[in-house]
């Protein structure tokens, strides 16, 4: 299954540009140079720009909203843009971004995968400085589509899950993925050592936040003690392109005013098993009764659609084990996030939406881990 990878061809020789650090840095001159460097401007010209900070806080980056005007206002260039720039939170930069290289991963994604097989925002410009971690990703605004955030409905979660098979099948066992050093490779010993070690070390923080954490902490302890076996197991399974953080905060859905489904925040792409995306979505974004009511049917449909898109020699038993590992990896990520980010952001954001943040961020996935006997699975690896 060979996907179609094309590195974005720039129409002019790109020179080093100042990477915006705040909204005032998005000037008319900067936009003209950036859009020209990425072959987006053509014969047009930016004549005005109003840039303001979004009032919705980002977890690992800041968001700037741009209202842009042009010499030729009838062009296809967007008047509304969204820019992601580096977080202003030193703890995020030091403990998450620098450790896990997320800005390089996402700018590389937008540069090299303009058609990844699932809907994404149109990227207009992307740049990253690895020495300073300054970063900018300029995108077409997805409005009138909206993100439901943690208040995602079961029907929206199902739509997101049903969008996965074509994406995963496109890259199934594609050797090009192993050439991408900015993706988390399935045999990356250093990454899994750091991630499982961090998840295991988070146990005291988890206990203080969630209290009933024994299932999760024991699984992380088991896997942290057998990292080579974990990597050997993951590497022996069919691989594909995995978003890595596939949940409601990373998605936009159509509204009554229009718009389309799209997936954002490609900061943590894995070369791994597609069921990891499935597990993160259903484990975090469906209330436990909804997951229990839909899980078996959605797994069957996911498997059938993989086969209909050309995947071969992949059994339902394999999928179920990949799903177990996906639930574990999803909870591993939440262990790290709970211990290294400001939990008050999650608490306020979920609270404003009427969602129990402890349930969404931890207990839903832990319930799934218990139902799927993930601890026994971890011990068996």
Q: What is residue 92's predicted lDDT score, i.e. its pLDDT?
A: 80
Segment 261-297, tens digit of pLDDT: 999 999 999 999 999 999 999 999 999 999 999 999 9
Does residue 166 lie in a domain region?
A: yes
Q: Are residues 118 and 159 both part of a single domain?
A: no
Q: What is the mean pLDDT of residues 134-148?
A: 96
In the structure, what pLDDT confidence band is assigned to residue 57 with cuts at 50, 70 and 90?
low
User: What is the C-alpha separation between 80 and 183, in angstroms, rounded?
Assistant: 30
Residues contacting residue 121 through CB under 8 Å, at least 6 positions apart: 82, 139, 140, 142, 262, 264
Q: Are residues 174 and 243 in the same domain?
A: yes
User: Which helix or strand (DSSP H or E) is residue 84 part of?
Assistant: strand 80-86
At 335, list the tokens.
């262990």
Q: Say what the pLDDT of residue 8 is.
A: 47
* 359 within 8 A of 210, measured Cβ to Cβ: no
Helix (H, G, I), strand (E, B) or coil at 28: helix
pLDDT at 90: 83
Q: Does 68 have pLDDT greater than 50? A: yes
Q: Are residues 168 and 89 in the same domain?
A: no
pLDDT 10s digits, 289-318: 999 999 999 999 999 999 999 999 999 999
pLDDT in tens, 109-119: 999 998 999 99
- Whether residues 304 and 361 fall in one domain: yes
- Which of 87, 112, 140 is a domain's end point? 140
The answer on 97 and 130 residing in a single domain is yes
The answer to whether residues 232 and 369 belong to one domain is yes
Report yes or no: 360 and 222 within 8 Å, Cβ to Cβ: no
Domain boundary at 105, 140, 175, which? 140
Q: What's the rounded mean pLDDT across residues 158-179?
A: 98
Which tokens is 210 given? 């969630």
157 and 108 within one domain: no
Pairing of strands 262-263, 251-252: antiparallel
Q: At residue 15, does pLDDT exceed 80? A: no
User: What's the confidence (pLDDT) of residue 247?
Assistant: 97
Record the pTM.
0.91
pLDDT over 50 at 11, yes or no: no
Task: Write the pLDDT tens digit of every residue in 171-218.
Answer: 999 999 999 999 999 999 999 999 999 999 999 999 999 999 999 999
Domain boundary among 77, 108, 140: 140
pLDDT of 6 > 60? The answer is no
CATH code of residue 207: 3.90.1200
Q: Which segment of 49-63, 102-116, 244-258 scores lowest on mean pLDDT?
A: 49-63
**Domain enclosing residue 84, as ranges:** 23-140
Please check whether residues 270 and 237 belong to one and the same domain: yes
Do the beta carbons of residue 128 and residue 206 sit within 8 Å?
no
Confidence of residue 14 (pLDDT cuts 50, 70, 90): very low
Total tally of structural domains belonging to the chain: 2
Are the beta carbons of 270 and 186 closer than 8 angstroms? yes
């Amino acid at each position: 299954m060979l996907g179609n990878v094309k590195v974005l061809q720039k129409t002019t020789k790109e020179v080093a540009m100042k990477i915006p650090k705040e909204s005032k840095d998005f000037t008319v001159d900067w936009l003209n140079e950036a859009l020209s460097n990425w072959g987006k401007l053509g014969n047009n010209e930016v004549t005005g720009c109003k840039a303001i900070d979004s009032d919705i806080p980002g977890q690992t980056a800041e968001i700037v909203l741009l209202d842009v005007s042009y010499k030729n206002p009838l062009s296809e260039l967007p008047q509304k843009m969204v820019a992601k720039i580096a977080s202003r939170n030193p703890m995020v930069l030091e403990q998450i971004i620098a450790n896990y290289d997320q800005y390089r991963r996402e700018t590389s994604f937008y540069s090299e995968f303009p058609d990844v097989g699932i809907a994404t925002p149109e990227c207009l410009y992307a740049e990253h400085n690895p020495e300073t971690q300054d970063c900018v990703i300029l995108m077409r605004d997805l409005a009138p589509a909206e993100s439901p955030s943690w208040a995602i409905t079961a029907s929206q979660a199902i739509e997101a899950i049903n969008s996965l098979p074509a994406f995963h099948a496109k890259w199934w066992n594609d050797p090009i993925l192993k050439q991408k050093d900015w993706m988390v490779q399935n045999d990356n010993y250093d990454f899994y050592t750091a991630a499982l070690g961090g998840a295991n070390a988070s146990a005291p923080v988890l206990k203080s936040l969630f209290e009933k954490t024994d299932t999760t902490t024991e699984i992380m302890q088991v896997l942290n003690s057998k990292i080579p076996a974990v990597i050997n197991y993951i590497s022996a399974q069919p691989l594909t392109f995995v978003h890595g953080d596939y949940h409601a905060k990373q998605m936009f859905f159509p509204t009554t005013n229009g718009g389309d489904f799209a997936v954002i925040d490609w900061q943590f792409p894995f070369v791994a098993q597609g069921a990891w995306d499935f597990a993160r979505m259903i484990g975090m974004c469906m209330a436990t009764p909804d997951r229990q009511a839909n899980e078996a049917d959605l797994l069957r449909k996911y498997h059938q659609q993989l086969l209909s898109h050309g995947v071969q020699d992949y059994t339902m038993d394999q999928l179920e084990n990949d799903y177990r590992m996906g639930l574990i990896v999803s909870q591993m990520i939440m262990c790290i996030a709970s211990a290294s980010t400001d939990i008050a952001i999650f608490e306020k954001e979920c609270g404003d939406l009427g969602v129990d943040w402890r349930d969404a961020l931890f207990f839903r996935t832990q319930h799934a881990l218990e139902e799927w006997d993930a601890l026994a699975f971890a011990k068996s690896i």
